[in-house]
Amino acid sequence: MKIYGIVCVLVGVFLALAECDVVSKFQDEPGCIKFFYKGKVPIWGENTAGAAQLCQRFQNRFHFATLYNMHNRIAVYSAFIFQPNNGGGRETRWFVEPQLVNQNWGGEMREGYWLEKDYPGVYQGDKQALNEDYTFSGFDRGHLNPNGFHAVPSRNATFTLTNVVPQNPKLNQNAWANHESKLAKLFKSQCDKAYVLVGAIPSSDNWIIKNDVRRVNIPEYMWNAYCCINQNGVPIRSGAAIALNTEQNVVEEYTLSKMMEFLQKYSETPVGELFDNQCQ
């Protein structure tokens, strides 16, 4: 697998990781691997050409992890732990990942406008989507990791363009939103901790096109999967769902096993477990 990344190094005699968020492996960063149940990173997506493993950093700490496809300029998936929402409203800013522009830049997600002020004339969109790609595209900036699944400041951190995909507005604002609300209620009422994966299946040849350039792949499907554990760390329930990214506006609920069968249709190699021991 070709990974665009940087290596965090030990500095001096202190065993402290340098601040970075585009990493060679999620496992290399303790603050990032915690978003995967028992530290198990799915095999799904690891062979994606031009993939980057992002530890999403905002206000100097990690909030979730994203496997990002720099060719399609959409995420393969985002991995996170559910948090009850404490309000705070929606972000008005959309962030980009500086290290997808230059691996030597700071790892903190930045608003593109201010990144341009620091590095005037440097194009930010070679390896990631930009806010203007979505403008007048007819598609929503569909969160994979939902802002409503977090408390501030993790909620703010979800407003990075590496965490969104072009989503059909009818689906995003109706069936998918309703499914997310259903999951949030379930996680709050029945789970002491919920590990969640949300991803997108890219289309074969459907893109947001700007100035005759294929900029952002429009996914064929949205999908999610979760693993709930109790206060003793024992799995108590799991589930998954898919939705065709069209005005059909339907979400189908799956088991984890059925989700693996679904993902296998889009993989030439074994998909493997999404969670350690299939959340059992």
Closest CA to 94 of 137, 141, 55, 41: 141
Q: What is the CATH number of the domain that holds 168?
A: 3.40.570.10
The first and second tokens of residue 280, run together, are 């059992």
pLDDT (0 to 100) of residue 270: 93
- Higher-confidence residue: 15 or 141? 141
pLDDT band at 89 (very low <50, low <70, confident <90, very high): confident
pLDDT (0 to 100) of residue 91: 93
145-180 pLDDT per residue, tens: 999 999 999 999 999 999 999 999 999 999 999 999
At CA 76, angle to CA 71 and CA 82, rounded to 5?
A: 145
Strand pairing partners for 240? 225, 254
Domain tally for the chain? Answer: 1
pLDDT (0 to 100) of residue 90: 86
Does residue 262 lie within any of the structural domains? yes
47-57 pLDDT per residue, tens: 898 899 999 99
Does residue 88 lie within any of the structural domains? yes
pLDDT band at 126 (very low <50, low <70, confident <90, very high): very high
Express as a percent the part of the chain with pLDDT over 90: 89
Does residue 165 lie within any of the structural domains? yes
Q: Read off φ and ψ for residue 71, nearest 5 degrees.
A: -75, -50
- Higher-confidence residue: 85 or 42? 42
Does residue 53 lie within any of the structural domains? yes
Rounded to two decimals, the pTM is 0.92
Does residue 198 lie within any of the structural domains? yes
- Residues near 161 by Cβ (< 8 Å), separated by ≥ 6? 94, 95, 96, 128, 129, 130, 131, 141
Task: Provide the b/e sequence for 159-171 (b: ≥16 CB within 10 Å).
Answer: bbbbbbbbbbeeb
pLDDT band at 5 (very low <50, low <70, confident <90, very high): very low
Quote the domain boundaries for residue 206. 10-279
27-39 pLDDT per residue, tens: 999 999 999 999 9
Burial class (CB in 10 A: 0-12, 13-18, 19+), 143: buried
- Residues 1-19 have a mean pLDDT of 37
Average pLDDT over the chain reads 92
pLDDT (0 to 100) of residue 16: 33
Does residue 1 lie within any of the structural domains? no
Q: Read off φ and ψ for residue 81, nearest 5 degrees.
A: -110, 130
pLDDT (0 to 100) of residue 86: 82
The first and second tokens of residue 227, run together, are 């693993």
Does residue 15 lie within any of the structural domains? yes
